[in-house]
Amino acid sequence: MTREEIGLLALALPATTHVVQWGDSDVYKVGGKVFAVCGLSGGLSFKVTPIGFEVLTTAGGPGRQAPYFAKGHWVNVPLDDLDPTDAADWIMNAHGLMAAKLTRKARAELGLG
């Protein structure tokens, strides 16, 4: 997948913003909270659940622990190894995990219910 394709997936989600930071990385946020980063360490880094982290980073999994995100269950998958369907699911889930950390008021203001 390309960075542009990742951007289309991320920006299709509600209340998503995009900034370029940390050098030349595409950073996607919901309510000011980062849920995915593309370009950092040459891949897509995204937030996952503890179980998702184990599945994606253990033997046979496509990813590794995301550099610079030592805590908090972040995974990095090289862009060349991304399946579009998997990437869409991972980005959507990461968005949902971070949106859930917003206050009820912030979610309502962003139209996230």
All domains in the chain, ordered by first residue: 3-106 (3.90.1150)
**Tokens representing residue 104 in the block:** 């009820």
Residues 32 and 12: their CA atoms lie apart, in Å, by 16
**Tokens representing residue 87 in the block:** 């990437």
Residues 106 and 113: their CA atoms lie apart, in Å, by 9
pTM of the model: 0.93
Cα Rg of the chain, angstroms? 13
pLDDT bracket for residue 72 (50, 70, 90): confident
Instruction: Let me know if 110 is exposed, middle or buried by CB neighbors in 10 A (0-12, 13-18, 19+).
Output: middle
pLDDT tens, 15-58? 999 999 988 999 999 999 999 999 877 899 999 999 999 999 99
Taking all residues of the chain, what is their mean pLDDT, rounded to a whole number?
93
pLDDT of residue 3: 93
Beta-carbon-side half-sphere exposure of residue 75 (alpha carbons within 13 Å) = 25
